[in-house]
Amino acid sequence: MVKEAIVLAGGLGTRLRNVIKDIPKPMADINGKPFLEYVLKYLSHMEIKNVVLSVGYKHESIINYFGNSFLNLGLKYSIEEKPLGTGGAIKKSLNLINSKDVFVLNGDTIFLVDLRDFYRFHKSKKSFVTIALKEILNPERYGSVEIDEKSKIRSFYEKGIKKDKTLINGGIYIINKEFFLSQNLPYKFSFEKDFLQKFYKDFDFYGYVSDAYFIDIGIPEDYEKAKNEFEKLSL
């Protein structure tokens, strides 16, 4: 089981600016605690030991709050002086990762996947990149993902396509470090568009489907929803 993770926590929270003021989106207050604290609590519960927080906008607020450790997690920081895109942020953060594979999570999303089972699946497929997928209704807000009978990624669809039910990218990945760094990727790029959607046809990327709890606080409605649901879930 991999014990290291990267959390992408550099988001500006543009669509939440009216409700979270001038702080990084992962520091949005959820019932008295920053959202990122719930993400780290989940990683601790899943027996992760070392976390690299990829930070940028107002990163001091994150570093000052969490310091070098949280619960049983050792924390390191990969600081973006200028925005690098999600792909560039991962690439920079990998300098602080020692393991061959690493979990990568979005700092504004919680998807309570069993990481141990997720990793077993990843290894069984000998996958270069594995994406945790969630089946949802009314997926217009998200891009969707299609897999074949062997769970290999077959296609990606843009946001806004109307379907009753589909698989979406849940924002948790397992990435093979050596493979990722060998692709001659630029300094600044989108992980989703410039990496996943570019390379999935040439290499074996897989989708791991989970029905675990999922929420993305990217819009005010779901930010308020998280406040209500986290109390019920005892997160």
How many CB atoms within 10 Å of residue 94? 19
> For 4-132+170-201+218-233, which CATH superfamily applies?
Spore Coat Polysaccharide Biosynthesis Protein SpsA; Chain A (3.90.550.10)
Q: pLDDT at position 19, please? A: 65
Q: Between helices 59-66 and 35-45, what is the axis angle to 10°?
A: 50
Whether 72 shows a pLDDT value over 70: the answer reads yes
Kindly tell me the sign of the dihedral angle through the C-alpha atoms of 88, 89, 91, 95. positive
For the chain, the first-to-last Cα distance in angstroms comes to 24
pTM of the model: 0.96
Q: What is the pLDDT of residues 177-224, one digit of tens each?
A: 999 999 999 999 999 999 999 999 999 999 999 999 999 998 888 989
Q: pLDDT at position 234, please? A: 73
With residue 179 as reference, give the H or E element that holds it: helix 177-181
Whether 12 shows a pLDDT value over 80: the answer reads no
User: Residues 6 or more apart from 225 whose CB is under 8 A from it?
Assistant: 215
Q: How is the chain split into domains, by residue range? A: 4-132+170-201+218-233
Whether 162 shows a pLDDT value over 60: the answer reads no
